[in-house]
Each structure stands twice: as C-alpha cells, then as structure tokens.
A and B are shown apart, each in its own frame.
Chain A
Amino acid sequence: MVKVFERPKALADVPTHYCPGCTHGIIHRLIAEVIDELGIVDKTIGVAPVGCAVLAYNYFTCDMQQAAHGRAPAVATGIKRVCPDSAVFTYQGDGDLASIGCAEIVHAAARSEQITTIFVNNGIYGMTGGQMAPTTLPGDKTTTSPYGRDTSKQGFPIRISEMLATLDGPAYIARVSVHNVANIVRARKAIKKAFEYQLAGKGFTLVEILSTCPTNWGITPIEALNKVKSEMLPYFPLGEIKDIEAGEKK
C-alpha cells in the first residue's frame, strides 16, 4: 500500500493546545512540510515568542527557543549570527509582532537579517483572551474595544507587510491566507520561497498569514474562514508584496 499522507517529520506527534477551528495547526503543518521538503530539520532553529504559539517549541522537532513578547526577531538575530549556515525562523502573532515587537521586526528587516518570519495575523490577542490588536479591523469588537474599534480613538490597523516592504532590507515579503485550500497551497509556496531565499542568503523574508480566531471572534470556524475572505482580505490584500528576484510588486 502506498502512503499518500503522513505527518511531516518536522512536526512532533503530540496534540496541540490550539482551539478547535484555529488555523495555527494548518500553518504549523505548512512550515513543517517546507522544512521536510528542503531537508533542513537538522539545521533549523525556530523562535516562538509570547502569544498563542508560545508553546510551538513542543510542536516542532527542530531546535527551538522560546522568546520574550515581541523580541523574537532580536533573538533570531542572535541565533543566526552564531549559526549563519542554519535556517532560523520566527513565528509571531499580530500583537507580538505589530505592537510590542514593532521595533524589533522593523530593524531585523532593515538589517536584512537572514531569517524568515512567519507573521500570523488574526487581528486579535488570542492567548490573553481576545483583546484589540494593532491589526484589529475598524469596527470589530474585542474585549478592549467592546463598542467596536473606533479609529478616531483607537487608530487604524497596521499593514505590516506593506510597511516593511518600503525598506531596502527585505528580500521577500508576501501576504497569504489559509481560509481555503487554494490559498493554503499558495501559503505553502510562499513559506517555501521565504526559506529558500534565506538559505540562499538573499536577505530578510516574511510571510504574513491571515488567520482565524473563532474562539475570540465569537463565531464558528466556518464563519471565521468566511470573515477572513469577506472582511480581512479587502483590508489586507494578498500577494507577493516584495520579491527582490521579481522586482517590486504593486
């Protein structure tokens, strides 16, 4: 019998703590598949800071460092400088990367650190219980924007990928989504490209992945996937935003 589907070797055979319907599991799997496909599990070091993915060190079989909130790009800088022949990735949520860790991600990108950042954007603080994130959509209700995000008082969502793409440092920046199969396939390609660019020493790479949080959004997993499509995509357009091999994208 031919085995057509199995757990990637870079993914540990353990149950995760993620909520039912959450897309972290899909994203973990995509990263693990790419690590397997590139054959780099023995030279990959992952960094997972505070957030829902803080326990990611239990789920990947490569070496892992847990990091302080927002500081993963700095930690990854330290690792990569010590191990320049390794593949180093950070796995960061939107609160972590776009709020408390804004300085670290901007400067890691500006220095063109040879790392890959997986930026999971679901527009909310998941682990702490559904507070407003820098990427929370205008009008969205969270536990700290109970009347809906009022842009006159709480500002506007940050489009991190577009912002970072203005820098000269990054080699590759893409925004993808995992709300349906076609997009999951595209997300996988983007993650692979980012790792390949890193391994080729092309520079800093980041893949922003639009993700769901059915628990804190207070809707079903199906509704959550639909929300990504109908509400997040218009605000956070998908595509390769920067690719030094292809030149600037629109």
Chain B
Amino acid sequence: MGERILMKGNEAIGEAAIKAGCRFFFGYPITPQNELPEYMSRRMPQVDGTFVQAESEIAAINMVYGAAGAGARAMTSSSSPGISLKQEGISYIAGAELPAVIVNIVRGGPGLGGIQPGQGDYFQSVKGGGHGDYRLIVLAPANLQEAVDLVTEAFDLADYYRNPVLILGDGLLGQMMEPVEFKATKLRELPAKEWATNGLRNHGGKTNIINSLVLDPHGLEEHNIRLQEKYARIVEAEQKAEIVDCDDAELAIVAYGSTARIAKTAVTQLRQEGLKVGLIRPISLWPFPVKDFEKVIPTVKSFLTVEMSAGQMVEDVRLTVNGCKPVYFYGRMGGIVPAPEEIAAQVREILGGAK
C-alpha cells in the first residue's frame, strides 16, 4: 500500500491526472473548481508539463482538441456554466474521435446559478450537451480515492476508445479533503496513436488529418454508424456500479456521486432501524449500468432515486426499470446538499406507505 495523502478533491484530481501521464492542462477560473487549475499551474512546470490559462473555456477546450490531436494526454476542467461553453468543442472532440479528459465540478444552475454543489448537469453530460449524435464516457466518483482512480482510468478509456471522458464531480467533492493513495496501475494495453497530427516525420510520412467535417451525407452517416458501433462496444464493456445491501432489500436507493455517499449513511441508519434498504450507485453514468440494475430489479420492490437536481438520472432509472417496479424520486436543488436524515425520512414514508 502506498502513502495516504490528505488532499482536497480538486487537487487530488489534478495529481491523478499528472500520475496518469497528462502533461497538458488548459483551464479557466470558475468556482468551485479553481484549486484544480491552480494546482496544475504549480505542478506542471515541475514535471515538464504545460499549463495554459486560456482566455475562455471555449479556448481551453479547443486547446485540448489541438493537444489531443497532436497525440498528447490533455485535460481541461471547469464547473457547470463553463462546461456549457465547452460543449461545442466537446462535440468536435467526440466527432473527430480524440481522447481527452474533461472534469466538471458541478454547481447549482441554471444560468449563473450558484457555487454550491449540484447535479443538474446530468442530462448535459450523458444525453449530449453539444450537438449531434455523440456520447461521452461519464464517470461519477463518490469519494476522493475513487476520483483519483477514475481519473487514472479515464485517460486509459479515452485513449482506448478514442473518445472524450467526462469526470462528473460536484462542489462537495471538489472542496472536501480526504486521504488518497496514488496506485501505480496499468489498466489496459493501449494502441499507438498513429493517427496523431504531430508531423509526417513522426508517423512514416503519411498525412494525418484530424477532422469532424464530412459533407457527403452518406459519408457522414457511415461515420455516425461507426461511432454508434463504438458506443455499443462501450455500453457492453464499461458499465460500472456499486451495489450495497441489495440482496434482501425491499427498497433500493439510487444515487451517484456525493449524493450516493450521503445515501449510504442513510442506508446504514435505516438498516439499524431494521428497514431493508439497499443502494445502487451508478459509477459510469454513461454507459448507464443497466446490467447492475438487472441483478436487482427482480428482488427489490421499489426504487428511490435521490439527486441534487429536479430529477434527471431518475429518467434513466425509469427507462431501466421499465415499469417493473415503482420508481420514486427525491431531489434538492440550488446547491442544497440533502442530509442523510432527509433521505431516510423519504424511505420511511415510502416503506410505511407500502405496508
């Protein structure tokens, strides 16, 4: 076991990226993710890396596009309004099939919203956000160790599938401190980046082109079909969830990220009261962990989705449960973090009503 280091979430994410070999970070200030670009501005020069404070989030994501196209592991981070600005670039990165890692430390919205934690960017993250038929791999850590591990994996997934990966955190994960450990793990064999536009001399004299423009409709449809085939492979291989205490559960809480760790506390409280409650925690939000749900759907009597939003992931839960069992929802908005007691009260009400 390596050394446990007490770090702030934003900084732990930054260090994980550096440990994963990311040497190019392009950022722009916005609360509550500022510690991440600040950390990178300190660390990158120490590892011969590059930190650029871009003139805007738009410029930052396009710098990522350029750097990723040239074959480097590149990253940007922001928080909700800034991620909205990046959507054009994210669509291009997905269209041109470039590997990149984007971090969203979500705050409450819409508009300028607030700076407290939120989960209102779920739709934007998993349903598109930018234009066109594309998908991001979306990973939602619930604690800082997992954030570190998922950032490491994100770079591998991005390179493996030539696809942008979004780390969906929130203000709570970004701001809190927890011990983390940086493990040296080799996750998967990665193909060489023979497609990179780093000069003909670096890839045998053949011209490489990074592009998302296909004017011929048939050509563009073919491109899309190929993308969809890739997405299908990802759906098959990359679903990830944690299932807690669902074996005998009457009700399963469904929550991701910070909300899931709070829900876990509620589950512990409820179990002490003798209530049979479990938790399904999607870790990959896209692909949505349908396979994990399928294990639980036959035995669980109802689901309660809890989010820091008006109800976004709950739509995917309903699609997955597909009417087999009731799906309830409890959400807080505006940057309010639900307390374990609130969640427990919702569960008691549902279970009480069912009896």
Contact = CB atoms under 8 A, between A and B. Distances in A.
Interface of A: 12, 41-45, 47, 54-55, 57, 60-68, 71, 74-83, 86, 103-104, 106-107, 111
Contact of B59 (A41, A60, A63, A71): A71
B55 interface: yes
Interface in B53-72: 54-56, 58-60, 62-72
A106 B50 CA distance: 20
Contacts of B64: 78
B256 interface: no
A66 B62 contact: no
A68 B92 contact: yes
A143 B235 CA distance: 47
A67 B198 CA distance: 16
Contact of B55 (A41, A47, A60, A104): A104
Contacts of A43: 199-201
A65 B98 CA distance: 11
B209 interface: yes
27 contacts: A42-B201, A43-B200, A43-B201, A54-B213, A55-B213, A57-B209, A63-B198, A66-B96, A67-B62, A68-B65, A68-B88, A68-B89, A71-B89, A74-B58, A75-B65, A75-B66, A78-B26, A78-B65, A78-B69, A78-B74, A79-B69, A79-B197, A81-B50, A82-B66, A82-B67, A103-B58, A103-B59
Contacts of A81: 24, 50, 52, 63, 67
B199 A82 contact: no
Interface of B: 24, 26, 50, 52, 54-56, 58-60, 62-72, 74, 88-89, 92, 96, 197-201, 205, 207-213
Contacts of A86: 198-199
B69 A65 contact: yes
B49 to A, nearest CB: 10
Contacts of A107: 54-55, 59
B207 to A, nearest CB: 5
Contacts of A80: 66
Q: Which 6 A-B pairs have the closest CB atoms?
A: A78-B66, A78-B67, A74-B62, A75-B66, A63-B197, A107-B55
B52 A77 contact: yes
B59 to A, nearest CB: 4
B212 A82 contact: no
A62 B59 contact: no
Contacts of B65: 65, 67-68, 71, 74-75, 78
Which residue of A44, A76, A83, A106 has the most chain B CB atoms within 10 A of its CB atom?
Answer: A83
B207 A44 contact: no
A105 to B, nearest CB: 10
Contact of B62 (A41, A61, A78, A111): A78
A187 to B, nearest CB: 25
Contacts of B209: 57, 63-66
Nearest to A76: B66
Nearest to B211: A66
Nearest to A57: B209
A74 B66 contact: yes
B199 A63 contact: yes
Contacts of B55: 103-104, 106-107
B68 A78 contact: yes
A103 B56 contact: yes
Given A62-B200, A80-B66, A81-B63, 18 more contacts: A42-B200, A62-B199, A63-B207, A63-B209, A64-B209, A65-B66, A66-B211, A67-B62, A68-B65, A71-B58, A71-B59, A78-B26, A78-B67, A81-B67, A82-B24, A86-B199, A104-B55, A107-B59
